[in-house]
Amino acid sequence: MKISSLSWSSSGLLLMLAAGLAVTSFWGHRQWEIQQLQANQLQQEEQMFLAGIRPAIAGYLASGDAGKLQLAHEQLSELQQTLPGQSGEEYTALQTEITTLQSRLTGSVRDAGKLSAEPRALLANAERELLDLNRRLQSYALQGISTYPEKAAVILDICSALPAILYQSAQLSQHYLIDSQPQSQQALENVVSQQQSWGEKLQQSELLGLYYQEESDEFALGNAQPERYEIGENLIAAIVSLLQRYPKEIRNTEQLLNANQAAKQALAASTNAIEQSLLALSSKQRQQFNQRQQQLSLLFTLLNASLFCFALGFLWFQRKHIVLPIAQLRQAFKTLLETGQRQHLQLYNRTETGDIAGYFNRLIDSFNADDESERADSHNSKFFGIHVTH
């Protein structure tokens, strides 16, 4: 190889290696920026879920505040839209869990939250209605006490027992349904039976004959007369209906509480699954980042090894084909000038130093040829001179 060709090729190779280093450095920096952006975004999503969505759902289940449920639903939608676009099982699982949680927020979780604010809402409403009807029945008895004192006294005596029965049933239902005390179930059933017995006793009481007449309708057709009904009869019928409905309300409340507990368990499973999916995505990002760092390190190692090999090869080539030949040429010229010795150079390569060595050898051959010619001329001159003398 010619030294000029070596110079051009080595310069080109150095430029290629420099370009490779520059591209690798740029690619590594770009990958690092992308990784940091995705990591920061995923960290924000984790923070949104752990500090925003999860507490909002828990707050809704504890208080029944619809605003917290709406906030959780909106943040879940934002979370699903802003998640970094990635492919893989972790991302698919996360999207599936978010969709599942959203459907639960509009279904079982919403129903469970409505009951959380007042778990005994159905029973409490029935108890309030019973107490209100009981007070109205007492007023009815007081209105007729002057006319039917004995009948009114019986009604008043029966009505006086209801508040204590309802208070006892309210306490026992709280223990059995809300506080989860199974041992209170039998006592609650006994109190419910006591309510039914109280209702039967109330039905057996005699009415006082106090009627209420509706106002006449001036637009009524024909000779229709306004209806009259016995006040006590209607009140007793309403009370008995509520007492018959009370055991059903206990069963409905128990079913709702069981559904509420199941919804909370399903919600906990969904939130835990989303949290695990977010952690899996974060772990996958770290693995990808480590893989890219390893790839980048490998590229830098290869490029540095190439530079090292190039430097060693170029050093060997320079020493063998440039430095040593030039030293031999220098020594040969020095010997020629100082001592006049003419020694051929044993350089046989295809570089410019080989060409110079060839020219030097030709120069030596030329000198030797001139000396031979001079000696031949001198010998001939002496030979002719001897013959002429004779």
User: How does pLDDT run across 210-248, given as a tens digit for each residue?
Assistant: 888 766 555 545 555 557 788 999 999 999 999 999 999
* Calpha distance 213→229 (Å, rounded): 7
The DSSP call for residue 51 is I
Q: Which residue has the tokens 């778990």?
A: 119
344 in helix, strand or coil? coil
For residue 315, with 0-12 CB atoms within 10 Å meaning exposed, 13-18 middle and 19 or more buried, which class applies? exposed
pLDDT given at position 214: 63
Element (H, E) at 211: strand 211-213
DSSP 345-357: -----SSHHHHHH
Which two three-digit tokens encode residue 276? Answer: 């695990």
**Structure confidence at residue 153 (pLDDT):** 94
Residue-wise pLDDT tens digits, 177-201 = 888 888 989 999 999 999 999 999 9
From the list 354, 311, 360, the residue with the least C-alpha distance to 2 is 354
pLDDT digits (tens, 9 = 90+) for 38-90: 777 777 777 887 788 888 877 777 777 778 878 887 888 887 777 655 556 76
Helix (H, G, I), strand (E, B) or coil at 213: strand
